[in-house]
Amino acid sequence: MPNPTAAILIIGDEILTGRTREGNGHYLAGELAKAGIDLRQIRVVGDDHATIVAAVRDLAGTHDHLFTSGGIGPTHDDITADAVAEAFGARIGVREDARAILAAHYAGRGLEFNEARLRMARIPEGACLIENPVSAAPGFSIGNCHVMAGVPNIFQAMVASVLPALTGGRPLMSQSLRVMQAEASVADAFGHLAAEYPDLSMGSYPFVKDGAFGTNLVIRGTDPARIDAAMARLCALFPEGE
Identify the three-state secondary structure at position 69: strand
Residue 35 interacting with a copy of itself (CB under 8 A): no
Residues 29, 217: Cα–Cα separation, whole Å = 20
Q: Fill in the per-residue mask, 120 to 159: x = in contact with a copy of itself (CB under 8 A), - = not in contact.
A: x------------------------------x--------
Whichever of 47 and 86 has its CB closer to a copy of itself, that residue is 47
Exactly one of 129, 166, 180, 218 binds a copy of itself (CB under 8 A); which one? 218
Please tell me whether residue 64 binds a copy of itself under the rule CB under 8 A.
no
Type of residue numbered 167: T
179: left (phi over 0), alpha (psi -120 to 50) or beta: beta
166 binds a copy of itself (CB under 8 A): no
Q: Rounded distance, CA 99 to CA 41, Å? A: 34
For the chain, the C-alpha Rg in angstroms (whole number) is: 22
Q: Are strands 38-45 and 5-11 parallel, antiparallel or unpaired?
A: parallel
Scanning 138-146, 161-169, 200-208, 229-237 for contacts with a copy of itself by CB under 8 A, the matching segment is: 200-208
**DSSP structural state of residue 74:** S
| 224: contact with a copy of itself by CB under 8 A | no
Q: CA 116, CA 102: separation in Å to the nearest integer?
A: 12
Return the bridge partners of 193, or none.
none
**CA–CA distance, 122 with 159 (Å, rounded to integer):** 20
Beta carbon of residue 214, minimum distance to a copy of itself (angstroms, whole number): 12
Among 121, 127, 172, 200, binds a copy of itself (CB under 8 A): 172
Q: Which is nearer to a copy of itself, 188 or 210 (CB)?
A: 188
The crossing angle, in degrees rounded to 10, of helices 24-35 and 152-162 is: 20
17 binds a copy of itself (CB under 8 A): yes
Catalog residues that contact a copy of itself under the rule CB under 8 A.
12-23, 25-27, 29-33, 39-47, 51, 73-77, 111-112, 114-117, 119-120, 151, 172, 174, 182-188, 190-191, 194-195, 201-206, 218, 220
